[in-house]
């Protein structure tokens, strides 16, 4: 992790660059080829990519009910209990996002209202390249269920023996999801976009993934499929003042660095002592991590930055727009008020980001790569469409009609005006 002491503002832009930016074009090209192949060859292409990327020869791409039953029996009771508790917390937080809107009479006789309708066919991508993220299934499946989406399709990369991870299958069963496809990467996203013999096409694709998955989701939007947001390689930015505990900070940085070699973690502090002690802690803790090699690679593109004031630290973070922001400072509430761009914020010394990853209740599917500047993370709303309705009575038309006529004529759209005028004439003749 390289250290930068009091960089001037001209260096800030370079420090805010994501590590992987330069390879984006190459990845897009690769994903485009995969996309076109799946659209042309369907299931056959999915099988070939499973062989190439996941090292497995597949016959059936769909998980069978027998596979689900067998897998569920393998999940230890303690883990089942933990997953049920996380499910309850995530459910509780997302259920609180339900809103009730009342009809509004904008003018006498003109009533407008809005109704939430679930996205009808949703695809959930659950990463499984290096770690089977069953927690992600909770993060997507719970709001999908709360929203009432009638058709839910799950895709995840197969394991080397051709199975799907048993804990993912247990979680799917808990959520009542039974359409489960053994496909990962860009090819899975392409299949959800256009459909294949085994994979139903969907209206909206959700879920995080590596850079191939994220680029494929962005490509899917060109084919008329919506996506939740670009949710790529994990990131965390920690703002730590002199009250921070270097061991905690190091653990938080490593928790995101271990996700993948292209994860990026940033430490911003106004204390050189905290930076030095955190670096020493990182070295110490790294030695005991099973995924040390992955984390070490991520750390080569990560940074520790010494700045002068809390205002500078917050400004830097808002410009960087991290997926996760940890405020390891004495008065986190104060700083939190000034956050304008971040996927999810963790306040104080006892709020590890890992709690949000698994079980506190908030969603861990969050925008990365600076997209927190313009996107929110997944929530109940992500699975809902808000349809507006209106009903206008004869009285209402007398009130709003002349406004519409005047505006339509001013835009040169006479047919619009006529749609009102004809009705106004009908109302007038009925009133005579």
Ligand X SMILES: NC(=O)c1ccc[n+]([C@@H]2O[C@H](COP(=O)([O-])OP(=O)(O)OC[C@H]3O[C@@H](n4cnc5c(N)ncnc54)[C@H](O)[C@@H]3O)[C@@H](O)[C@H]2O)c1
Site string for Zn ion, 348-387 (x = CB under 5 A): ---------x------------------------------
Question: What is the rounded CA–CA span in Å between residue 77 and residue 334?
Answer: 42
Sheet strands (E) in 157-234: 179-182, 204-206, 226-227
* 323 in active site: yes
By CB under 6 A, tell whether 136 contacts ligand HSO.
yes
- 66-to-76, 152, 327 alpha-carbon distances in Å: 19, 19, 46
The closest residue (CB) to ligand X is 185
Pairing of strands 264-269, 235-240: parallel
User: Residues 252-291: x/- map of binding to ligand HSO (CB under 6 A)?
Assistant: ----x-----------------------------------
- Apex 186 CA angle, 183 and 187, nearest 5: 45
Radius of gyration of the chain (CA): 26
- 324 classed as catalytic: yes
| Distance of closest approach, residue 261 Cβ to ligand HSO, in angstroms | 14
As beta bridge partners, residue 181 has 62, 155
Residue closer to ligand X by CB (options 208, 332) is: 208
Catalytic residue among 301, 323, 353, 405: 323
Q: Which is nearer to ligand HSO, 290 or 412 (CB)?
A: 290
3-state secondary structure of 155: strand
H helix intervals, 238-344: 246-257, 272-286, 292-300, 310-320, 332-337
135 binds ligand HSO per the rule CB under 6 A? yes
Q: Which of 54, 281, 323, 405 binds ligand HSO (CB under 6 A)?
A: 323
* Phi-psi region at 50: left, alpha or beta (left = phi > 0; alpha = psi -120 to 50): alpha
Which of 204/259 has CB closer to ligand HSO?
259
Does residue 411 have a known ligand-binding role?
Answer: yes
The annotation status of 324 as a binding-site residue, yes or no, is yes
> For residues 91-100, b (16+ Cβ closer than 10 Å) or e, as one string?
bebbeeeeee
CA–CA gap between residue 382 and residue 204 (Å, rounded):
9
- Residue 125 annotated in ligand binding: yes
Per CB under 6 A, contacts with ligand X among 199-218 are: 208-210, 212-213
Distance CA 428, CA 51 (A): 73
Q: Is 309 helix (H, G, I), strand (E, B) or coil?
A: coil
Which CB, 31 or 152, lies closer to ligand X?
31
Minimum CB separation of residue 138 from ligand X in Å reads 12
Single out the catalytic residue among 67, 94, 301, 324: 324
Q: What does the alpha-carbon distance between residue 302 and residue 262 come to, in Å, rounded to a whole number?
A: 10
Residue 423: C-alpha distances to residues 268, 384, 404 (Å): 64, 35, 12
322 near ligand X, judged by CB under 6 A = no
Closest CB 361 distance from ligand X, rounded Å? 16
416 is annotated as contributing to ligand binding: yes
Q: What is the SS3 assignment for 166?
A: helix
Smallest distance from Zn ion to CB 113, Å: 40
Q: Which is nearer to Zn ion, 37 or 357 (CB)?
A: 357
135 binds, among ligand X, Zn ion, ligand HSO, none (CB under 5 to 8 A by kind): ligand HSO
Piece of 91-99, 129-137, 378-386, 387-395 that binds ligand HSO (CB under 6 A): 129-137
- What number of other Cβ atoms are within 10 A of residue 140's Cβ? 28
Distance CA 154, CA 152 (A): 7
- What is the nearest approach in angstroms of Zn ion to the Cβ of residue 277? 23
Query: Catalytic residue positions?
Result: 323-324
Query: Residues marked as binding for NAD(+)?
Result: 125, 187, 210
Catalog residues that contact ligand X under the rule CB under 6 A.
30, 49, 53-54, 127-131, 133, 136, 157, 184-186, 208-210, 212-213, 231-234, 259-260, 263, 323, 364-366, 368
Q: Which residues bind ligand HSO (CB under 6 A)?
A: 133, 135-136, 234, 256, 323, 357, 364
């Amino acid at each position: 992790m390289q250290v930068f002491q009091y960089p001037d503002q001209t260096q800030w832009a370079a420090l805010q660059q994501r590590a992987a930016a330069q390879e984006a074009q190459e990845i897009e090209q690769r994903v485009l080829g995969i996309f076109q192949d799946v659209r042309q060859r369907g299931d056959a292409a999915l099988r070939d990519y499973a062989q190439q990327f996941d090292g497995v020869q597949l016959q059936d791409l769909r998980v069978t009910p027998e596979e689900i039953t067998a897998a569920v029996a393998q999940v230890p009771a303690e883990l089942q209990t933990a997953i049920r508790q996380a499910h309850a917390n995530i459910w509780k937080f997302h259920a609180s996002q339900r809103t009730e809107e009342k009809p509004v009479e904008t003018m006498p006789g003109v009533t407008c209202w809005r109704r939430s309708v679930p996205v009808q066919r949703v695809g959930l991508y659950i990463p499984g390249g290096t770690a089977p993220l069953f927690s992600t299934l909770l993060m997507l499946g719970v709001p999908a269920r709360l929203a009432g989406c009638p058709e839910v399709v799950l895709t995840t990369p197969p394991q080397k023996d051709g199975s799907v991870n048993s804990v993912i299958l247990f979680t799917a069963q808990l959520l009542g999801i039974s359409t489960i496809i053994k496909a990962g990467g860009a090819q899975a996203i392409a299949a959800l976009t256009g459909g294949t013999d085994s994979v139903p096409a969907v209206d909206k694709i959700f879920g995080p993934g590596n850079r191939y998955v994220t680029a494929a989701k962005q490509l899917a939007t060109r084919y008329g499929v919506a996506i939740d947001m670009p949710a790529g390689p994990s990131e965390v930015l920690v703002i730590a003042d002199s009250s921070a505990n270097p061991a905690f900070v190091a653990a938080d940085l490593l928790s995101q660095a271990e996700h993948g070699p292209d994860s990026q973690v940033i430490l911003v502090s106004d204390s050189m002592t905290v930076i030095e002690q955190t670096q020493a802690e990182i070295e110490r803790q790294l030695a005991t991590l099973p995924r040390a090699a992955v984390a070490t690679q991520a750390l080569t593109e990560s940074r520790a930055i010494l700045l002068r004031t809390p205002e500078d630290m917050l400004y830097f973070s808002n410009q960087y727009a991290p997926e996760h922001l940890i405020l390891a400072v004495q008065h986190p509430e104060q700083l939190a008020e000034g956050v304008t761009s971040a996927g999810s914020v963790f306040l104080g010394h006892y709020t590890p980001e890992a709690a949000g990853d698994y079980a506190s209740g908030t969603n861990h599917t969050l925008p990365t790569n600076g997209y927190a500047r313009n996107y929110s993370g997944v929530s109940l709303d992500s699975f809902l469409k808000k349809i507006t309705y209106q009903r206008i009575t004869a009285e209402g038309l007398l009130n709003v009609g002349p406004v519409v006529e005047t505006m339509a004529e001013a835009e040169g759209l006479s047919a619009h005006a006529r749609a009102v005028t004809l009705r106004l004439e009908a109302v007038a003749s009925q009133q005579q």
